[in-house]
Structure 1
């Protein structure tokens, strides 16, 4: 997690992981926006959402290892569920990671609205699960659009910051 006033020396792996992390947020915006239209467009939005979550989960810069491992395990567990035939259940794992990271980003960089992202993603997941029987398509589309907008705002805010902001103080990381 960042301490923007501290500029730790960054090696090549720090640059790669910060860029991968930010690409994850960037990819999450169109991937989640397209989830309600995946069948109609033929664009694999669920797979793109998993890719976004994997980019973020593989490159977390969070000092506390317990939180880091929980957010990583949610994506990897979700991916395993999807591989074994439970894609919507697996998508929930990706949403846990992405929503948790948005929540974290709010406290690091005060991007407006990010504290609501975990709730929006939980509601979107529930709406996707119930879509075939109970939920109006407009509810799913609205939740996806709002969530995608928050990811877009986050991605733009992250790319505008110096890369070292994501690293913070390397001496504080629990290994």
Structure 2
């Protein structure tokens, strides 16, 4: 996680990676919200979730490489599962990444309920697997609202807050 009080010099790749990371949270809002109605609307909400998680995972700014690689691996593993025909397992991988990142962002923004996002996404995944429409709709709405709040909070802060001290990153 970055140190907001340190303003490292940012090149165009740093700026691009922060923008892509934040746009991943923005895309998570409609993709999670539309999951319960994917069949009825024809909107590929699951695929949108994969894109949102991939955007965030590809541009993580976390100092500790163990956590960074774990969150990236769950997205890429999820994508592999999806390609091999195990779509729900793949979606679970994206939920692990997105939920883990929300947990991380809680320590920056202290948004009430944000620490519960991993559990909400786990419940959403189980409700999709068990075909419980009302539970799915409720959990999707709560989760999308939390993604919306964290998206707004992220865009309100300067880009360098996401980068922090470049010398602290484990390579």
* TM-score interval (norm. to shorter): over 0.9
Give the alignment's Cα RMSD to 1 decimal: 0.6
Distance 1:62 1:2 in 2: 7
What is the TM-score when the length of structure 2 is the normalising length? 0.99
Give, in angstroms, the shift of residue 106 of structure 1. 0.5
Alignment of 1:96-111 (within 5 A): 96-111=96-111
Kindly report structure 1 stretches of 4+ aligned residues shifted beyond 3 Å.
none
Give, in angstroms, the shift of residue 113 of structure 1. 1.7
Match of 2:77 in 1: 77
Does the 8 Å contact 1:81/1:90 carry over to 2?
A: yes
Match of 1:127 in 2: 127
Alignment of 1:1-150 (within 5 A): 1-131=1-131, 135=132, 137-150=133-146
Q: Report SS of the residue matched to 1:61.
A: coil
Q: Report SS of the residue matched to 1:7.
A: coil
Count of residues paired in the alignment: 171
Match of 1:165 in 2: 161
Unaligned runs of 5+ in 2: none
Distance 2:144 2:168 in 1: 32
Q: Report SS of the residue matched to 2:20.
A: helix
Give, in angstroms, the shift of residue 111 of structure 1. 2.6
Per-residue Cα deviation, 1:38-63 (whole angstroms, up to 9, x for no partner): 00000000000000000000000000
Distance 2:66 2:104 in 1: 14
Unaligned runs of 5+ in 1: none
Distance 1:166 1:75 in 2: 20
